[in-house]
Amino acid sequence: MEHHLWPARGVAEHAYCPRLFYYMAVEGIFAPNADTEHGAGVHSRVDRPSARPTASPGDRPAANSGHKRTVKPEDSEADVDRPQVIRSLALSSERLGVTAKLDLAEVNGNTAIPVEYRKGHPDRRGKAAEAIDEMLAPPVTPPAEPWPTDRVQVGLQVLLLEEEGYSVPRAIVYYAAERHRLELRVDDELRQCALAELQNARRTAGGARPAPLHNDPKCPRCSLQPICLPDEVNALCPDEHGPTGEQAISQRKLWPSRDDGIHIVLQREGVRVGVRGKSVRVTDKDGKLVRDFPLSSMESLALVGAVQVSTQALQVFADKEIPVAFLTSAGRLTAMMDPLGPVSAAVRTAQVRGLDDPTRVIELARAVTVAKIANQRTLLMRNHANLPARVALDLQAAHAAAEQAITLDELRGHEGNAAAIYFKHFSGMFKENARAVATRFDENGRQRRPPPDAINAVLSFGYSMLTNECTAACRLANLEPVIGALHATRPGRPAMSLDLMEPFRPLIADSVAISAFNRGELTEGHFLDTAAGCALTDAGRKAFFSAYGRRMDTEVTHPVFGYRLSYRRMLMLHARLIAAWLLGEVPDLAFLTTR
């Protein structure tokens, strides 16, 4: 940390929330939302740097720090006494260990006034002066004050300007929502406030990630809330992070229940994906437009089979941090373009160290296995036409045995026993219109390579698509997909993605297979029997993706937190909870189970 230059904006975030500072400044994690995009729009003009002029040495004031100034002020041709305005003035100090880019600086000789732009309102939480006559006088609003974060950021800018040799008598914060230009007097109190926060930020950066705020009104509008999970972390370990008992606050529904971004799956042979302007264009072999999608709404892209994508489009997707998955026509994930976005070294380090501990390995493996067996039992009891009573009892016994397993081999034995019971009665969940395909599955049992019948083909295809979803969720949570617990690490095997997928196999892939055949969306005509096994036709894959997309958008209530999320967002939530568990922020793992 000795020679690290901390950005003034990051230090100001520490005054807002130390955990937010740690995410952004230490781990390099940032997620935009409507507020940050609005703020970027407010800054769009002042973020255009002023031209770098040529100036004689005599134009520069003497600096008491011995540092070379980053940008020199512009010469004013119209009026030499008029302050010169510099946009995006970059300054840094090795002595302070701080760097900053000033939105605006008004420079007049040896005097400089920093101007900071803010999209919102000033702090008006103070007490308003009482009106002399309430009947005649209009309501009196509290006086405008700068927010603590703004005082810290402006204070650091003042220190940097003074180190460059300028005299800084005052600073200005412009609040765009009110078009209010708020003037701050520069004094020792402002300087000491900035230096104290800088010292606190350094101390925070040198330790572990801070605990989340408890029931704080700042959290709902924070762009990193879906990553930080303040209420969820506090709920899972209330003794450490907040009050308990009657004082404990129930989890607020901070997450949107579903993700309305577009998840594109392309499978038509020969089509080509490109980008033109703000649109993603899909064209056929002759260059005719097939479909187009708004780039701003795109969340992911999956290419199944012989689908082409231009290198320019890949560059745009990488810049937008949109993952692109490449799958075979049978649905096997062969590659994924993983954009080089911010990756938390803290999470990856904790994952490697934690999963090198046999105790932690069995804990994670046991949690996903127990949840999977519970969901298999629930699915059978809900959908089987005539389930023998003994089957539910046997699965309950396997569930209880898995909870007590102390070695991986023992756990895998109980998991295999439960899977054998489950798939032995799996065909009983299909209705009469799908009796023919159910009978073939009964004859073959669960087989993967190659799938010998239609149900096995759909299950394998569904598990492959779910692996893709779980790999994307692991990436968003900064988890390394190839290092897992229940599944052994092998070359090219996304072990952590497969671990995350276990509780969701019955809930998503198995449910899609059952509902698609029972509703007649998939029939025997959608499959092709070959020497290499049974495979979906193009029409069959299209029907599958329709059913799969509906299932991923289905909302379900979380058993611990009590709010509803789509299955796709549930995957993201559980991936981030695994990361929090690896970091020691939560003591236990709670995976989704349905009743």
Amino acid at 551: R
Residues 6+ apart with CB under 8 A from 95: 65, 163
Q: Residue 513 corresponds to which tokens in the numbers above? A: 């297979």
CA dihedral 254, 568, 481, 345 (to 10 degrees): -20
Buried b (16+ CB within 10 A) or exposed e, 505-544: bbbbbbbbbbbbbbeebbbeebbeeeeebbbbeeebbebb
Exposed, middle or buried by CB within 10 Å (0-12, 13-18, 19+), for 334?
exposed
356 three-class SS = coil
Q: Residue 505 corresponds to which tokens in the numbers above? A: 């196999």
Alpha carbon 48 to chain centroid distance?
Answer: 29
Residues 6+ apart with CB under 8 A from 511: 379, 551
Cis? peptide before 450, omega within 30° of 0:
yes
In sequence order, the β-bridge partners of residue 282 are 273, 291
Residue for token pair 């404990």: 248
Count of beta carbons in the 10 Å neighbourhood of residue 559 = 12
Q: Supply the pLDDT for residue 140.
A: 64
In sequence order, the β-bridge partners of residue 51 are none
Q: Helices 408-424 and 358-383 meet at what angle, rounded to 10?
A: 10
Q: Are 564 and 577 in contact (CB under 8 A)?
A: no
In the 3-class helix/strand/coil scheme, how is 491-540 assigned residue by residue? CCCCHHHHHHHCCHHHHHHHHHHHHHHHCCCCCHHHEEEECCEEEECHHH
Q: What angle do CA 387, 388, 393 make, to 5 degrees?
A: 105
Residues 6+ apart with CB under 8 A from 514: 379, 383, 429, 430
Could you read off the pLDDT tens digit of each residue along the chain, which spans 595 residues?
446 788 998 899 999 999 999 988 888 887 766 666 666 655 555 556 665 444 433 454 444 444 444 444 444 444 555 668 888 888 999 999 999 998 888 998 899 999 998 888 888 876 655 555 555 556 667 788 888 999 999 999 999 999 999 999 999 999 888 888 999 999 999 999 999 999 999 999 988 889 898 888 888 888 888 888 888 888 887 655 554 444 444 556 655 555 567 888 888 888 899 999 889 999 988 889 988 888 888 888 888 888 899 999 999 988 888 888 888 877 777 887 876 666 677 888 999 999 999 999 999 999 999 999 999 999 999 999 888 989 999 999 999 999 999 999 999 999 999 999 999 999 999 998 888 999 999 999 998 888 999 999 999 999 989 998 898 889 888 899 999 999 988 877 889 999 999 999 999 999 999 999 999 999 989 999 888 789 888 899 999 999 999 999 899 988 888 888 889 989 999 999 999 999 998 888 889 898 7
Q: Are 19 and 206 in contact (CB under 8 A)?
A: no
Q: Are 103 and 116 in contact (CB under 8 A)?
A: yes
- Give the whole-angstrom CA distance, residue 560 versus residue 235: 9
Exposed, middle or buried by CB within 10 Å (0-12, 13-18, 19+), for 569?
buried
**Alpha helices (H) in 322-357, listed in sequence order:** 345-354
34 three-class SS = helix
- Give the whole-angstrom CA distance, residue 74 versus residue 55: 8
Q: Residue 570 corresponds to which tokens in the numbers above? A: 């549930």
- Give the whole-angstrom CA distance, residue 341 versus residue 318: 8
- Give the whole-angstrom CA distance, residue 474 versus residue 389: 38
Residue for token pair 């160290």: 353
E strand or H helix at 141: none
- Give the whole-angstrom CA distance, residue 540 versus residue 227: 37
Amino acid at 331: G
Q: Closest Cα partner for 470 from 267, 256, 325, 356?
A: 325
Q: What are phi and psi of 165, to 5 degrees?
A: 105, 5
Q: Closest Cα partner for 515 from 569, 562, 552?
A: 552
Whole-Å CA distances, 45 to 17, 32, 305, 595: 28, 19, 45, 54
Count of beta carbons in the 10 Å neighbourhood of residue 400 = 12
Residues 6+ apart with CB under 8 A from 518: 430, 431, 433, 434
- Give the whole-angstrom CA distance, residue 165 versus residue 172: 19
- Give the whole-angstrom CA distance, residue 282 versus residue 262: 14
The full set of domains in the chain, from first to last, is 6-125+142-204 (3.90.320), 211-254 (no CATH), 262-337 (3.100.10.20), 345-582 (1.20.120.920)
Q: Closest Cα partner for 299 from 575, 20, 572, 539?
A: 572
What pTM was estimated for this model as a whole? 0.78
